[in-house]
Every structure is written in structure tokens, then in C-alpha cells.
Structure 1
Amino acid sequence: MEFKDLEIFQMVAEKGTITEAAKELRYVQSNITSRIQKLENELKTPLFNRHNRGMILTPEGKRLLIYSEKILSLTNEMRKVVQNDKEPSGKLEIGSVETVIKLPVILSRYNKKYKQVDLSLLTGVTEQLQYKVLHHQLDGAFISEGTTHPDLAVHDVLEEELVLVSDKPFQSKEDIKDEPILCFSKGCGYRARLEQWLEDEQFKPTKMMEFGTLETILGSVAAGLGVTFVPKSAVAHLVEQGHVHCYHLPSEYSQIKTVFVRRADSYLTPTIYKFIQVIEDFHQETSNQLQNSTQI
């Protein structure tokens, strides 16, 4: 059994089709097909159920996926361990929710100090990003604090206030009772907070409309399509320009932390260790600024 066979197997399991896996790996489809068949012959069991729309893992395939993730993760970790133990280098794959407004500051500071690192960023919702970190698909991710898996180590980044945002001013919660809610997909920490508030207030939204990007959500709110619930810092510029207005919810719904998570059992290479240092320095700096501002 070759590591490359396991990598191909994982990609087919993730994408669900030979075509998509081949496109992602830049292989011809026949190569993907033959490698999967080779793996199935070697293990003497079918790993996928084939159907017209793609491929679904068999029970045996699901069990193999768990082990292959561990094997490839350890292989990747082994390669990192034997790299230069002083200067960060190689790939660093990070995930983030879309609304971390200060993220460019953190990434820029790291990139300027460690130019040998190939840094890449994937955006998504909290639940999805946690899954990818747990399954070794990301080195770490910036997510909304909530229920974090016990296998994840957590590093504080910043604390923010979530606000309800509309294109027009409103005096009370009754004013937004019948407004459509514009939000990210299920698994978003902000959406979970808003849904909890709506439930506690016994409000049933007329419509929940899912969008893929923060820019689209805010543009739609400004155009009068509905209301949303996002960090205050994300809409400060639109508030200043008079395009949107904010409504403040009680602190148990609105105060939220952004944290950085990584697998607690993963070896801390210089690449990820220095990244965490940059995060911790940023967190300390912003905490000091907040403390100073409250004392003035």
C-alpha cells in the first residue's frame, strides 16, 4: 500500500466523484480509477458504492478513511519534524470564519517575518473549520468560541460584540420581528447566537436566507433585503457612512470570542509555533489597548 493511494482514496471520499478528485489532484481520471481499484484489490474489499451521481464510502471505506487520515497526518508531521528546527518554512494551511476583521494584520505580521512559509487561507463556518482541523485537513483555524472539541487546543485572539444590522433605524426588537434574516450556513457561530436569541424571545423569523460571503450579506442588508447579526467591527465603516444601523442585544448573546484552534496532539513545528506566537502577541496588544481605553 502506497501513501499516494491513500491520498487519492481520501480525495475521492471528500469530493464524491472520480471527476472532481482528478481535477483537484490534476490526474487523469483513469489513473484515479485504477489506483482505487488497486487499493480495493489489495484490501480485498470494496471501498465505495458506485452510482450514477458519484461514489459513496462503504462501511469498510469509512473505517479505512479514519486510519488513512491518521497515517497521512503522521507522515506529514514526520516530514515537518525533520525540517529545519529553527526557521519556519514549508506550507501552513489556515482556516478562518469570514468576519475576523483583524485577520489581515495577523497574517501580514507573520508573512513579513517568515518569508519562507507558503501560507494559504480557507474560509468557512465554525463547524466546518473545526472538522477540517480535527481531520488534519488544516493546520489550524480562526473560529467563533463555542463548543470546541476536546482534541483541540484553543488560543484566544480577540473579543467582539455582535450587533443586529438593518438598513433603517429601529427602536425595539419588535421592529425587526418580520424581517428576513440574512446569514451564513448552519454551523456558523454567529447564526447560532442569533437563533438562540430568537428562540428565547419566541420570535419565529419569516425567512432565513443563506449567503456565502460577508460582502454579499452586508450589501444585501444595505439594499433593504433583511437584517443580519455580525461583529460590530465588520460594519463600522457602513455605519459611519449611514448605509446601515445597529441594534444591540443583551451581552449573553452579543459578546463573543474569536479563537484559534489546532489539534492538541499535533507536533508544534517551528512554522505553526511561530504563528501561534504572533497570535498571542496580537491578543496581548489588543487586550492592553482595550484596558487602556477603559481607564481613560
Structure 2
Amino acid sequence: MDSNLLKVFVEVANEKSISKAAINLQFAQSNVTSRIKQLEKSIGSSLFHRVPKGVILSQEGERLYPYALEIIKKIELANYEMKNINQQKHLLIGSTESNASTRIIPFLLELNKDFPNMTLELITNTTKEITKKILDYKLDIAFISGLPKNDELMILNKIEETIVLVEPKDIKAQNIYLSFKNGCAYNEFGQTYLKEITNYEHKNLEFGNYETILGCIKAGMGKSILPLSIIKKLNYEKDLEITKLSKKIVNLPTCMVCRKDNLPRIKNYLENFKF
């Protein structure tokens, strides 16, 4: 069974769309379709059902998927091991925007100084998306908000965060919760917490950066729950009403994690890194 065909199959299954898979793989859509047909012919079964919005796995496709995923992962790991047989030559790093805003630059500078021959690549997104990428072997390490919930991940390093309720200083805040985009751990906790203490749901507005969130809070648009490190980094401490939340209420440290079956070669260095 051709592993290249399996890679196309997994991408289509993940995206539930031949066109989206083609974009991700940088193939022509017809190429993806022909490869799926080639795989189906080789195993003698149809792997997908066509639906109005794309495709879904057939019963046979569901059975093949975990085996295909395992084969692809093992091939990728083998290639990675051979490329990094003696040292960590490349490090793929994922980070939440909050961590990227506060401490990722000193971390990257230190890595580059201590490992001058190692190339670095950084991807930022929400905790939800970054976690998905590291579970899919698309990252070597990841900074996420909160303790990892998946048993396949292990913590390499942990940074305690002071979580605060942020409101306008001299203006009554509207009943609006301002947050980073969907998938942010602070977003998920904050909406639930505010509903519990106020007994009503806040309208939720999502933004793409923390500078905008804090600026809107300062103007009285609403409130948010964020790590204090972001507010200090963006110099908003004097402009906002800040209430620290007890760790009994919320404990969302920033954790550097990796897959248990894909440990970085510089694991010891990362575990002892001082943030």
C-alpha cells in the first residue's frame, strides 16, 4: 500500500473535503481525486461518501483511517530521526498568542544563541489549534494555556500565570465579554466564570490581538479575563481596573508540552529553561 496515497486519504478525511485537501497538499483537485480512486481500487472498497458539503468516511474508510494515520506518523518520525540523527537540527514551535506576546522572543533568542546550527520555526494560534497540531505531529513543542488534557502529551516546563478580571477604570463596563478568538483557554473559562458570578450571559466579542481587547476595555466597551503578564507587557496596568483571581478559582499556567512518543532531542535543555 502506497504511503503517499495514504497521506492524501488522511488529508481528505481530516478536511472532509477534496478541494480543501488539495489546497493543503498543494495538489490539483483532480490529482487528489485520482489518488483516492487509485487507493480505493487497490483495496477494493469505496472510502468516502459524497455529501452536500464535501465527503465523509465510509465504513471501510473509518476502519482504514487509524492504520493510515499510524503508518504516516511512523514514516514522518523515521524521516525526522534520520535528519536529526546526531542533533536537533530543526525545532517546530507552537505558541498561544498570549505567550507569544509576553515571552517567546527571549526564548527564541536564547535558543538561537545556545544552538546556532538549529533552525527554528514558530506558529501561533489558540490553545485548541496548537494542541491539535502537536497531537498531529506537526510541532515538536507547544506552549498552551492550562494543563494538557490529552494523555499523549507531557509537560516539559511550566510557567505560573496570575489570571485577572479586567474592567474599565472609571467607566461602567457594558455586559460584553471581550476575548481572543474561539479556542482560547481564557475565552472558554471567562464566559463561564462571568455567568456564574453575575447570573447572566455576557455578549461575546472576539478579536485577533490583545492590544485591541485592552484598548476596548479601557474605552468602556466591556471586560475580560486574561493573564496579568499580557497587561504588564502592553503597559495597561495603570489604565484598567484589575482584580486578581485566586488559583482556587482558576489555574491556567502556560505549559510547554510535547508528545510522549516524540521527545525533542534538547528535552533536558527545555526542561531546565528559566522563563
Normalising TM by the smaller chain, what interval?
0.7 to 0.9
TM-score w.r.t. the length of structure 1 is 0.80
Match of 2:27 in 1: 27
Q: Does 1:258 align with 2:257?
A: no
**Alpha-carbon deviation of 1:161?**
0.5
Match of 2:272 in 1: 281
Shift in CA distance, 64/112, structure 1 to aligned 2, threshold 3 Å? farther
Question: How far apart are the structure 1 equivalents of 2:120 and 2:36?
Answer: 31
Q: Please show how residues 108-123 of structure 1 align to structure 2 within 5 Å.
A: 108-123=109-124
Question: What secondary structure, in the 3-state scheme, does the structure 1 residue paired with 2:214 have?
Answer: helix
Q: Please show how residues 43-58 of structure 1 align to structure 2 within 5 Å.
A: 43-58=43-58
119-128 or 74-83, larger mean C-alpha shift: 119-128
**Matched-pair contact (CA < 8 Å) for 2:155–2:255:** yes
The one of 227, 230, 235 equivalent to 1:238 is: 235
Question: Residues 193-229 of structure 1, C-alpha deviation per residue, up to 9 Å, x if partnerless?
Answer: 3245335425323312233433443343344322111
Question: What secondary structure, in the 3-state scheme, does the structure 2 residue paired with 1:46 have?
Answer: coil
Q: Does 1:73 align with 2:69?
A: no
**Alpha-carbon deviation of 1:232?**
0.6
Question: How far apart are the structure 2 equivalents of 1:219 and 1:34?
Answer: 51
**Matched-pair contact (CA < 8 Å) for 2:177–2:191:** no
Question: What secondary structure, in the 3-state scheme, does the structure 2 residue paired with 1:40 have?
Answer: helix
**Matched-pair contact (CA < 8 Å) for 1:181–1:205:** no
Shift in CA distance, 95/60, structure 1 to aligned 2, threshold 3 Å? farther
Question: How far apart are the structure 2 equivalents of 1:212 and 1:61?
Answer: 37
Match of 2:139 in 1: 138
**Structure 2 unmatched ranges of 5 or more:** none
**Matched-pair contact (CA < 8 Å) for 1:95–1:140:** yes
**Structure 1 unmatched ranges of 5 or more:** 287-296
Question: What secondary structure, in the 3-state scheme, does the structure 1 residue paired with 2:156 have?
Answer: strand
The one of 166, 179, 182 equivalent to 2:178 is: 182
Question: How far apart are the structure 2 equivalents of 1:117 and 1:6?
Answer: 31
**Matched-pair contact (CA < 8 Å) for 2:93–2:141:** yes
Question: How far apart are the structure 2 equivalents of 1:19 and 1:229?
Answer: 38
Count the aligned residue pairs.
272
**Matched-pair contact (CA < 8 Å) for 1:182–1:211:** yes
Match of 1:291 in 2: none
**Alpha-carbon deviation of 1:87?**
2.7
Question: Residues 211-266 of structure 1, C-alpha deviation per residue, up to 9 Å, x if partnerless?
Answer: 343344334334432211111110113325x4433222233234431111222123
**Matched-pair contact (CA < 8 Å) for 1:143–1:258:** yes
Match of 1:156 in 2: 157
Shift in CA distance, 76/250, structure 1 to aligned 2, threshold 3 Å? same
Q: Does 1:125 align with 2:126?
A: yes
> Between Structure 1 and Structure 2, which shows a larger proportion of helix residues?
1
Q: Please show how residues 156-235 of structure 1 align to structure 2 within 5 Å.
A: 156-169=157-170, 179-235=175-231
Shift in CA distance, 247/106, structure 1 to aligned 2, threshold 3 Å? same
Match of 2:12 in 1: 12
Question: What secondary structure, in the 3-state scheme, does the structure 2 residue paired with 1:239 have?
Answer: coil
The percent identity for this pair of structures is: 32
Question: What secondary structure, in the 3-state scheme, does the structure 1 residue paired with 2:151 have?
Answer: coil
Question: How far apart are the structure 1 equivalents of 2:20 and 2:193?
Answer: 40
Shift in CA distance, 221/47, structure 1 to aligned 2, threshold 3 Å? farther
Question: How far apart are the structure 2 equivalents of 1:168 and 1:132?
Answer: 39
TM-score w.r.t. the length of structure 2 is 0.85
